[in-house]
A and B are shown apart, each in its own frame.
Chain A
Amino acid sequence: DGGITQSPKYLFRKEGQNVTLSCEQNLNHDAMYWYRQDPGQGLRLIYYSQIVNDFQKGDIAEGYSVSREKKESFPLTVTSAQKNPTAFYLCASSRGQMQETQYFGPGTRLLVL
């Protein structure tokens, strides 16, 4: 059963703490993406990766970091430098070219304690 999984579903962060959101896909897609969604704001691109060991900043990369060591995995770290991390985080993947259909995971809701 192919798809994208994200974990955890809910994540709580304390002040000054780094947290990592997991994203895994078994669709054999080359490209992966991280978005942040706030109420009334639509989807904003944080980082994307078109190939293993390479990634690019999106529109709101400050306070976030990523790695792409494996084709299937694209974890996102929300660092303590991100002052307003409370949001719904969505991971997506696509076959290759950026204009191709993106398939989304179920999302992770990050809350600050």
Chain B
Amino acid sequence: QKEVEQDPGPLSVPEGAIVSLNCTYSNSAFQYFMWYRQYSRKGPELLMYTYSSGNKEDGRFTAQVDKSSKYISLFIRDSQPSDSATYLCALSTSGNTPLVFGKGTRLSVIA
């Protein structure tokens, strides 16, 4: 079993839809959870950063961590065509070890 699993998509939704992006993981030592957005041929940029369990909201974006289920989610409300990108989850333990990235989910929001 891979450390982090992420459905690669592609996921296509109409403008205004609520989008749910997910990652599952196997290592219970992960405590830091991030979501990055990557536009085509660009470097990833950080969207959300959460520590341990719970929800975090920033505008149209909500990150959710369920450590008991080893499952993290990113919700995008009122999705826009400008949200079309690849979304990568990244996880880290509290030890000084590198981030582990999911393979990314490609999202298309159709106007």
For B31, the closest partner residue in chain A by CB is A99
Which of A14-22, A35-43, A68-76, A77-85 lies at the interface? A35-43
Task: Decide if the interface of chain A is mainly helix, strand, loop or mixed.
Answer: strand
Question: Total contacts A to B, CB within 8 angstroms?
Answer: 54
Tell me if B43 and A99 are in contact (CB < 8 A): no
Contact of A42 among B46, B88, B95 (CB under 8 A): B88
Tell me if A33 and B43 are in contact (CB < 8 A): no
Tell me if B41 and A107 are in contact (CB < 8 A): yes
Between A40, A42, A98, A102, the greatest number of chain B beta carbons within 10 A of the residue's beta carbon is seen for A42
For A33, the closest partner residue in chain B by CB is B98
For A56, the closest partner residue in chain B by CB is B98
* Chain A contact patch, size range: 20 to 34
A101 at the interface (CB under 8 A from B): yes
> What's the least CB distance linking A20 to chain B, in Å?
19
Tell me if A58 and B41 are in contact (CB < 8 A): no
Question: Given A99-B94, A104-B43, does the pair A42, B99 have CB atoms closer than 8 Å?
Answer: no
* B:71-103 near A, CB below 8 Å: 88, 90, 92-99, 101-103
> What's the least CB distance linking A25 to chain B, in Å?
12
Between B31, B90, B98, B103, the greatest number of chain A beta carbons within 10 A of the residue's beta carbon is seen for B98
> Considering the chains assembled together, what is the distance between the CA atoms of A86 and B51 in angstroms?
35
For B46, the closest partner residue in chain A by CB is A101
A52 at the interface (CB under 8 A from B): no
For A102, the closest partner residue in chain B by CB is B99
Tell me which residues across on chain B come within 8 A of A42, comparing CB atoms. Answer: 6, 88, 101-104
Contact of B103 among A40, A103, A104, A107 (CB under 8 A): A40
Tell me if A99 and B32 are in contact (CB < 8 A): yes
> What's the least CB distance linking A97 to chain B, in Å?
6
A90 at the interface (CB under 8 A from B): yes
Tell me which residues across on chain A come within 8 A of B49, comparing CB atoms. Answer: 101
Contact of B43 among A40, A58, A90 (CB under 8 A): A90
Contact of B93 among A99, A105, A106, A109 (CB under 8 A): A99
Residues of B within 8 A of A (CB): 6, 8, 31-32, 34, 36, 41-46, 49, 88, 90, 92-99, 101-104
